Amino acid sequence: MRVYIKEAEGKVQLLNAVTGEKISEFSDISEAVRYAVKNKYQLPLRAVDGEFVVDKQGNPVYIDEKGILELADGTLLEGCRICPKCGWIAYWEEVLDEDKEPRECYVCPHCGYVFECTPEREDIGEGD
């Protein structure tokens, strides 16, 4: 079962990620994580800073056994990669480089890192 952790009213709640139903309540996050691991619940992806990763709409993001990014209900997150700098979710989008040339890159909204752009900088302006 996929779960997520929510802090509310000074307590830490472990919730079913699909139904939102409260499973249990704890005094701190580490206690909730230990409980989830002990009961073989799947927690959301965690970033380098320890935060649980969410998509742009605030939904917890999970990674399946094949390394595919999904929401709790199994919806695939297409056009996304894990940011190699902070571990958050980076999205495929068009950006303008320093020369105001449009390029498509993965852009991390959490840390601002831009990577795996196409076309490659050395290919810009080259003819066939």
pLDDT tens per residue, range 33-74: 999 999 999 999 998 988 899 999 999 999 988 889 999 999
| Number of domains forming the structure of the chain | 1
Residue 3 domain-assigned (yes or no): yes
Residue 109 domain-assigned (yes or no): no
pTM, two decimal places: 0.80
Map tokens 């005094």 to a residue. Answer: 27
Range of the domain at 39: 1-43
Tokens of 5: 């952790």
Residue 51 domain-assigned (yes or no): no
Q: DSSP of 77-111, one letter per residue?
A: -TTEEE-TTTSSEEEEEEEE-TTS-EEEEEE-TTT
Residue 35 domain-assigned (yes or no): yes
Tokens of 107: 């852009």
